[in-house]
Structure 1
Amino acid sequence: MEPGTDDEQYLRCVEKDVLIPKMMREKARVRCAAEVEAFTKCCQESGFLMVVKCRDENAALKECLKKHYEDPIFYEECKQEYLHERAEFRRTGVPLKKRLQKLPTSM
């Protein structure tokens, strides 16, 4: 696919159904950090009884994540970010994560 063509916006099924939702899950977990932390803490403190004791924390976490998964604006943000990363990879041949690892930590 040549840069600047409409093909740059085309998404394969695996991108639509797997890669973008994966990005959404990762970002949603960051946006729901308070709920993730509360659920994790509850589970660590409750041991085997976590299924019973952490219902409220689990429900709050699920609700927060669901809110993001079902948000079409959030999906579009993740899709555009994915398309940008894919375009950069096609241009440079280096995945974004590898490029970020090579950046100096101090300047």
Structure 2
Amino acid sequence: MDPGGEERDHLRHVEKDVLIPKMVREKARELCSEKVEAFSKCCKEKGFLMVIKCREENAALKECLTNHYKDSALYEECKQEYLKEREEFRQTGIPAKKRQQKVPSNM
């Protein structure tokens, strides 16, 4: 058994209820990108009439997103990704976003 593993995997309220769900929403948008694109296109084409004319696209988008929001496997995937990023941050002190940026070659 991994000593400290339980502590390392412990999630605070803000992590469980805010940060990980945010990651789920971002992944869901990526997974539903075709429906997002269709709804956006409809809205641009219909202008003020989008509320009436784009109901079908909106319903399809909502259904796709909701299915992903409720997907416990996607939540678990995002949770593990979050825990990995948090562990790397604790080891390096560098946030994931800054680690992903390239270091200028002239340094």
- Normalised by the length of structure 2, the TM-score is 0.90
Structure 1 alignment gaps of length 5 or more? none
Sequence identity (%) = 68
Q: Match of 1:21?
A: 21
Tell me how large the CA RMSD over aligned residues is.
1.2
**Aligned mates of 1:67, 1:103 — CA distance in 2:** 39
**Aligned mates of 1:86, 1:50 — CA distance in 2:** 41
- Normalised by the length of structure 1, the TM-score is 0.90
Instruction: For residues 71-101 of structure 1, give each alpha carbon's deviation from its aligned partner in whole angstroms, at most 9, with x where no partner exists.
Output: 1111100100010011111111111111111
For the structure 1 residues 61 and 13, does the alpha-carbon distance in structure 2 shift closer, same or farther, using more than 3 Å as the test? same
Residue 45 (structure 2) pairs with residue 7 (structure 1):
no
Q: Match of 1:44?
A: 44
**Aligned mates of 2:41, 2:89 — CA distance in 1:** 38
The aligned length equals 101
**Aligned mates of 1:101, 1:50 — CA distance in 2:** 39
Give the drift of 1:103. Answer: 5.4
Structure 2 alignment gaps of length 5 or more? none
For the structure 1 residues 25 and 103, does the alpha-carbon distance in structure 2 shift closer, same or farther, using more than 3 Å as the test? farther
Give the drift of 1:102. Answer: 2.1
Residue identity in the other structure for 1:57: E
Residue identity in the other structure for 1:52: I
